[in-house]
């Protein structure tokens, strides 16, 4: 059922280049079937049905691709990164542990890497 926290998800989804979700939101989504459904809708719009939702992603696989996802996100924007790694995009928004890792990696990358130094190799 819908709660005030569900409204927060809508606000967050409405931003054109969503930043990492606040941990409270991630924790909510992890336990809210309604919000997990809401997260599917933007994926449908982005990927036209090529959805990884039938194949729930283990954290291990998300974390394997997280660095590449972040590289591409920094190089080409969130939308491109989400299109290339839809499973990572969805997972790190629904898993508190991986969202935390994502924020940590982003912080480290921002602090230590200058633009252009990433080994960006977009799979396109």
Q: How far is the CB of 59 from Zn ion (least distance, A)?
A: 3
26: contact with Zn ion by CB under 5 A:
no
Q: How far is the CB of 1 from Zn ion (least distance, A)?
A: 8
What would the x/- binding string for Zn ion be over residues 70 to 109, using CB under 5 A? Answer: -------------------------x-xx-----------
Q: How far is CA 87 from its chain centroid?
A: 8
Torsion of CA 91, 36, 95, 6, to 10 degrees: 130
Q: How many residues bind Zn ion (CB under 5 A)?
A: 8
Q: How far is the CB of 114 from Zn ion (least distance, A)?
A: 29
- Within positions 36 to 65, which residues make up the interface with Zn ion, using CB under 5 A? 59
Q: Both tokens of residue 50?
A: 């090529």
Count of residues for the chain? 124
- Distance from C-alpha of 57 to C-alpha of 66, rounded to nearest angstrom: 12
């Amino acid at each position: 059922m819908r709660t005030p926290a569900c409204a927060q998800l809508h606000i967050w989804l409405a931003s054109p280049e969503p930043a990492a979700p606040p941990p409270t939101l991630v924790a909510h989504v992890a336990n809210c079937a309604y919000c997990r459904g809401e997260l599917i809708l933007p994926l449908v719009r982005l990927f036209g049905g090529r959805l990884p939702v039938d194949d729930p992603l283990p954290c291990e696989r998300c974390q394997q691709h997280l660095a590449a996802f972040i590289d591409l996100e920094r190089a080409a924007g969130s939308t491109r990164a989400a299109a290339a790694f839809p499973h990572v995009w969805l997972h790190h928004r629904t898993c508190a542990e991986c969202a935390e890792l994502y924020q940590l990696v982003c912080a480290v990358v921002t602090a230590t890497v200058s633009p252009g130094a990433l080994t960006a190799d977009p799979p396109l």
